[in-house]
Structure 1
């Protein structure tokens, strides 16, 4: 027989997490693949919008790119900020609209309402998948006595996590609905993360943020959190560089790297 490999799983968190008492995790691109579903929903929204909208210049109507456009304008940000940034980049001007508007094309709010409806439809039909290793990481954090908050600048996060099978794992779920009618500035400003830290009841210096977007990383650094970990949501050296420049202490390619790597010990070979 050939060599047999015995797997020894240490299930230990990386040492830099051992002094933490709280962890704030990105619900959309670290715990789940909701960011990819949002990207698809925004693509459908803007592709439909561009069929109805009369542009100032035809070149502005190139299709929405679910990677480049989403991760530049929307990832980690509120829909309000994302729509404003995307439309401005295309030279398109729409009124902001009222706080509540039906889905449509007359204002930024109506575009957001359209995306909300598309996203909800996608979640109903296809669910949202948990990121590999994410829920194991949450269980491991909690086993070390680290409180866990899931955060998102979107809405409906608790329901989305429930559908993905992970709502019960988080001690707190904070999204845009937490702020009600109060003025809310999302990432790269820090109020979302600060609200999560406050609800966990831990010191900022002993809180780690595990996030998937440059905007979120910037917000975590501005919040003064003790350890900022970035997880690249897709293979991209350019994205990893942006996460570094935003101020991440660690940049990883998946959440499983936050757990000690599995040790592989070769067993002595023996004859058949």
Structure 2
């Protein structure tokens, strides 16, 4: 591809720049399966174990409160919404989401995070081209992850889940967070690239009318990303760097 055709690049974070999607997946699995296996847990519904298929179908790429709501709805489980300050032992949508967040932060603090080598290679190449870059993540933890990965100086803007909530922006698959990021870096959406590994994120890029939506297949599947609106699907961001630069 010719990067000269575009004015800015917007990156999802977890699974695109850093392998933290795996940490999120483990944290979601632990939280949901503990809840589903608890005989005293309220809400009724289907209590069969939560699987990776549930993650990709209902949780991946979405704000965490939305992910909890959508998964519970898929199982016919009804819980009260609760409040932002609910502790992890509260049987509410927000309590479960907060418990998952606590697990994620413990793993991040203990293990740190390193960016995918191919993603760093693309970031290096785009810096040479002087293209403005931004991160658009549903996670409220995005700034901490970027800092832990040593990439804070690479992005002109970070639109995290916290920013979206503060500004009243709906999360992916709505395009609003991507559109806001394009505005922050001063680029028209028609000349902006979106890089996403989640079906909901690809749907957001496609809905926003962005110049190019690239799916990064870290498990969602090439066909699913293409159906969601990706014009191009790669397995690693190094594929987007010219061969002569990769040598």
Coarse TM-score class (shorter-chain normalised): over 0.9
- Deviations 1:16-62 (CA, angstroms, capped at 9, x unpaired): x22111000011111011111111001111122123325636xx222
Contact 2:62–2:172 (Cα < 8 Å) also in 1: yes
Q: Does 1:188 align with 2:176?
A: no
Tell me the CA shift for residue 171 of structure 1.
1.6
Aligned residues: 245
The 1:92–1:205 alpha-carbon spacing in structure 2 relative to 1, beyond 3 Å, is: same
Corresponding residue number in structure 1 for 2:116: 131
Corresponding residue number in structure 2 for 1:34: 20
- Deviations 1:187-207 (CA, angstroms, capped at 9, x unpaired): 110111011101101111111
Choose from 217, 232, 237 the match for 1:250: 232
Instruction: Calculate the TM-score normalised by the size of structure 1.
Output: 0.85
Tell me the CA shift for residue 176 of structure 1.
1.4
Corresponding residue number in structure 2 for 1:24: 10
Corresponding residue number in structure 2 for 1:56: 44
Give me the whole-angstrom Cα distance separating, in 2, the residues matched to 1:177 and 1:200: 19
Instruction: Calculate the TM-score normalised by the size of structure 2.
Output: 0.93
In structure 2, the gaps of 5 or more residues are none
- Deviations 1:143-193 (CA, angstroms, capped at 9, x unpaired): 112100011111021111111222221121110111344433111101110
In structure 1, the gaps of 5 or more residues are 1-13, 266-272
SS in 2 for 1:95: coil
Choose from 209, 225, 242 the match for 1:260: 242
SS in 1 for 2:77: coil
Give me the whole-angstrom Cα distance separating, in 2, the residues matched to 1:201 and 1:104: 43
Q: Does 1:230 align with 2:215?
A: yes
Give me the whole-angstrom Cα distance separating, in 1, the residues matched to 2:233 and 2:174: 20
Corresponding residue number in structure 1 for 2:143: 158
Tell me the CA shift for residue 223 of structure 1.
1.1
Give me the whole-angstrom Cα distance separating, in 1, the residues matched to 2:246 and 2:193: 29
SS in 1 for 2:11: strand
- Deviations 1:67-126 (CA, angstroms, capped at 9, x unpaired): 211111111111121111110111111011123211124200000110110000010111
Give me the whole-angstrom Cα distance separating, in 2, the residues matched to 1:164 and 1:64: 29
Corresponding residue number in structure 1 for 2:92: 107
Tell me: higher relative CO, structure 1 or 2? Use CA pairs within 8 A at least 6 residues apart. Answer: 1
Give me the whole-angstrom Cα distance separating, in 2, the residues matched to 1:210 and 1:50: 34
